[in-house]
Amino acid sequence: MSREDVLAEVVSDPKLRIPFWKLNQECRERFLEFLQGTKTLPVTYDPFFKAVFHPDVHPERLSSFISSLLGIQVKVKAILPSEDRLSDGDSLLIMDVLVELEDGSLTNVEIQKVPYAFPEGRMSCYSSDLVMRQYARVRGERGKHFTYRDMKKVYTIIIFERSTQIFRRVPQHYIHRGSTKFDTGLELSLLQEYCLVCLDVFREFPYAKDKNEQTA
C-alpha cells in the first residue's frame, strides 16, 4: 500500500484518528512506515512504549518487563500522573513513565536518546524525587498513623540508547543493578535502588541461544 492509502485508512478509523494526530510528525511518519511494512516501530519512544506496555490495557507486559530488569517479581498497579514530578524539560528524553507497584513501591522507567554529561547527578535527583513523592502520598493517606516503616522501595530504571564511556569499562555487561552499600558489611535496606540498561552494548552481544525475558 502507498503512504497515501495507509494514511487514508488511519484517519478514517475513529479509534486511530485522534491518537494518530496526537503523535509528533516523526512518530506519525514512523507509524505509517510500520503499517506499510517498511520499518519496525521504535518501541523505546514514549507513545509506542506506552501503547505496548500500558497497564490498563496490557498489565502483564509492563509487569513482566520491569520484573525481568529488576530480577524480582513485581506487579504494576497503575501509571501515576507526572504533572508534579521533577523534570528538567530536556527534549532528549525519549520516554519517561512513572508507575506504582502492587506493594506501594514506585518505579521510574526512563529512556534517554543520548548520554548526559552527569548521569549520576540526574539519577540521584530523580530517585530522590520518587522518595519524596511517595513520602507525601503515604503520609497524606496515613495521617497521624504514619511511620517511616510505611515507606517502600523506589526503583529508578534508566535505559540508554547510547551509553556514556564509563559503561565501556565493563563491556561484558549491559544491565547494571545498584543500591547503597556500606564498607563495613553493615546491611541496611535503604529505599533507593537503580537499574541501568545499555541498549548499544546489548546490540553488540551475539544472538542468545538461551532466549529469556532479558534477551528476547
Residues 81 and 181 in one domain: yes
Which domain, by its residues, includes 23?
1-41
Our count of domains for the chain comes to 2
Q: For residue 155, what pLDDT is reported?
A: 92
Residues 18 and 51 in one domain: no
Task: Report, as an integer, the average pLDDT of 179-194.
Answer: 94
Residues in the chain: 216
Residue 199 forms part of a structural domain: yes
Q: Indicate if the pLDDT at residue 4 is higher than 60.
A: yes
In contact, 151 and 191? CB cutoff 8 Å: yes
Residues 53 and 125 in one domain: yes
Residues 167 and 99 in one domain: yes
- Which residue's C-alpha cell is 524539560? 89
Model pTM score: 0.75
Distance CA 210, CA 216 (A): 9
**Higher per-residue confidence, 82 vs 169:** 169
Q: For residue 91, what pLDDT is reported?
A: 47
Pairing outcome for strands 154-160 and 175-179: unpaired
Residue 107 forms part of a structural domain: yes
For 150-186, write each residue's pLDDT tens digit. Answer: 999 999 888 888 888 888 889 889 999 999 999 999 9
Distance CA 44, CA 113 (A): 9
Residue 210 forms part of a structural domain: no
Residues 179 and 191 in one domain: yes
Distance CA 106, CA 109 (A): 10
- Which residue's C-alpha cell is 510505611? 150
Residue 50 forms part of a structural domain: yes
Which residues, listed in sequence order, are joined to residue 3 by a DSSP beta bridge? Answer: none
Give the residue ranges of DSSP H helices in the chain.
3-12, 14-22, 25-36, 46-53, 59-70, 119-142, 199-203
Residues 24 and 122 in one domain: no
Q: For residue 78, what pLDDT is reported?
A: 76
Residue 213 forms part of a structural domain: no
Backbone angles phi, psi at 120, to 5 degrees: -65, -45
Distance CA 33, CA 126 (A): 35
As a whole number, the mean pLDDT across the chain is 82
Which residues, listed in sequence order, are joined to residue 165 by a DSSP beta bridge? Answer: none
User: Residue 205: left if φ>0, alpha if ψ -120 to 50, beta else—which one?
Assistant: beta
Task: Say what percent of the chain tops pLDDT 90.
Answer: 26
Residues 105 and 3 in one domain: no
- Torsion angle of alpha carbons 133, 138, 139, 145, nearest 10°? -160
Residues 37 and 47 in one domain: no
Residues 34 and 104 in one domain: no
Residues 146 and 77 in one domain: yes
Q: For residue 161, what pLDDT is reported?
A: 82
Q: For residue 209, what pLDDT is reported?
A: 52
Q: Indicate if the pLDDT at residue 58 is higher than 70.
A: yes
Distance CA 102, CA 188 (A): 23
Distance CA 76, CA 82 (A): 16
In contact, 44 and 30? CB cutoff 8 Å: no
Q: For residue 105, what pLDDT is reported?
A: 87
Residue 215 forms part of a structural domain: no
Task: Report, as an integer, the average pLDDT of 125-145.
Answer: 92
Residues 49 and 9 in one domain: no
- Between 49-53, 180-184, 190-194, the lowest mean confidence (pLDDT) is in 49-53
- Between 10-19, 21-30, 79-88, 93-102, the lowest mean confidence (pLDDT) is in 79-88
Residue 209 forms part of a structural domain: no
Q: Indicate if the pLDDT at residue 79 is higher than 80.
A: no
Residues 115 and 55 in one domain: yes
Residue 177 forms part of a structural domain: yes
